[in-house]
Copies of this chain bind each other. A is one copy, B any other.
Amino acid sequence: MKDIKTIINEISKLNLANMYNDDFLLTWEKSDDELSGVFAVANALRGMRESNISPKIFVSGLAVSLFRDNSTRTRFSFASACNMLGLTVQDLDEGKSQIAHGETVRETANMVSFMADVIGIRDDMYIGKGNAYMKEVSRSVLDGYNDGILEQRPTLVNLQCDIDHPTQSMADMAHIIDHFGGVENLKGKKIAMSWAHSPSYGKPLSVPQGIVGLMTRFGMDVSLAHPQGYEIMSHVEDVAAKNAVESGGSFIRTNSMKEAFEGADIVYPKSWAPYAAMEERTQLYGNGDTHGIHRLEKQMLKHNEQHTDWECTEQMMALTKDKSALYMHCLPADITGVSCEMGEVSASVFDRYRVPLYKEAGYKPYIIAAMIFLSKVRNPSQFLNEALEKNTKRWIG
């Protein structure tokens, strides 16, 4: 149990006061201490679960989940995190609910929150909408709390928006920290966040944006590679550039996958849609222009087809540091010859990295739990120490 105690001791030295009773929307809205706090609490919670100790915060309580896009892994990660902490998930299903019938965000946000402790939202489809929607929900329930409508402030967790995917990027980072034996070993490491070919269109930008927005904070050399025309949001590039300066790392953009891969310690090849096309698509959806959407999507697919060489092959991997960079992906990947004809990654590369990839995904439930934990526990290290001592078995059998 010594390890968990060490972690708890580290937590006690961090300034996490502002996380209490607050949301987690973008990693770059959080201080270094706060990010360290999430990693440390995630580790502590994992250690406790592996030691069969329950870290329940709630005897009862509701977590509202609102998925405006399909999801398997994030849905289950959120459900797992909530369950571990004692919350019951209640889905706000727009199909089932009246939300589609013109109810305002403010009203619905309050109506579902009378006993809600947490709200998890995925809204990643439309540029300029997802994060804005989350902020509106947050404002609504904060007002509701201040007006005496809600007995508690339900805090939000961003489960993917149009700008960032913090539970993904933080889980990815936890994986990297673990792989390299500590955050102190990351200075000067090179990570390639690269576009990769996929025979589909409209994949969200939040993963590459989340990665460059977060990984630039640890003194790493971050390369963002993509074909011309596949730009991400420029204000996120600004965030990354600023982070790199502050952390003593670098942030480089390139239109060459090879350049990014050369000497890289970590590669993250993944398809995404161009920002400009996604913005146009959002407008077309807004106008209900079905014809325009079809036209655009065809065009996007055609563009993708011009870059089938952006594939993470064994040859590409051979360019990396000691030919053995850590290959990462948020999953599911488009695997050439497996899930599609020409995809993001060759089957042999994917196969070699399957176990680490699955482990990468395995950090997410703990990252989400840590985000919720820090928004709901006023004195994290004290709580964890008490839970350790209390030693309530999660599984009695």
Residues of A at the B interface (CB closer than 8 Å) are: 49-50, 54, 56-62, 64, 67, 70-73, 75-77, 79-80, 83-84, 86, 88-90, 92, 96-99, 101-104, 107-108, 110-112, 114-117, 144, 147-152, 331-332, 338-340, 355, 358-359, 361-362, 364-365, 373, 376-378, 383, 392-397
Q: Which residues of B contact A149 (CB under 8 A)?
A: 355, 358-359, 362
Q: Which residues of B contact A396 (CB under 8 A)?
A: 56-59, 377, 383
Tell me whether B72 and A108 are in contact (CB under 8 A): yes
Q: Which residues of B contact A117 (CB under 8 A)?
A: 395
Q: Which residues of B contact A364 (CB under 8 A)?
A: 114
Residue of B nearest to A383 (CB): B397
Q: Which residues of B contact A89 (CB under 8 A)?
A: 90
Q: Which residues of B contact A49 (CB under 8 A)?
A: 115, 151
Residue of B nearest to A55 (CB): B60
CA distance A26 to B338 in the complex (A): 31
Q: Which residues of B contact A392 (CB under 8 A)?
A: 59
Jot down 7 A-B pairs with beta carbons below 8 A, ordered by A: A62-B76, A72-B97, A84-B115, A102-B332, A111-B358, A148-B359, A152-B395
Tell me whether A84 and B102 are in contact (CB under 8 A): no
Residue of B nearest to A54 (CB): B59
Q: Which residues of B contact A358 (CB under 8 A)?
A: 107, 110-111, 144, 147, 149
Tell me whether B72 and A112 are in contact (CB under 8 A): yes
Residue of B nearest to A85 (CB): B60
Q: What distance in Å separates the Cβ of A99 from its nearest Cβ neighbour in chain B?
A: 6
Q: Which residues of B contact A103 (CB under 8 A)?
A: 72, 332, 339
CA distance A150 to B361 in the complex (A): 11
Q: Which one, B72, B102, B151, contacts A92 given CB within 8 A?
A: B72
A-B pairs, top 6 by smallest CB distance, nearest first, are A377-B397, A80-B115, A72-B97, A73-B111, A149-B358, A376-B397
Q: What distance in Å separates the Cβ of A42 from its nearest Cβ neighbour in chain B?
A: 12
Q: Which residues of B contact A361 (CB under 8 A)?
A: 110-111, 114
Q: What distance in Å separates the Cβ of A66 from its nearest Cβ neighbour in chain B?
A: 11
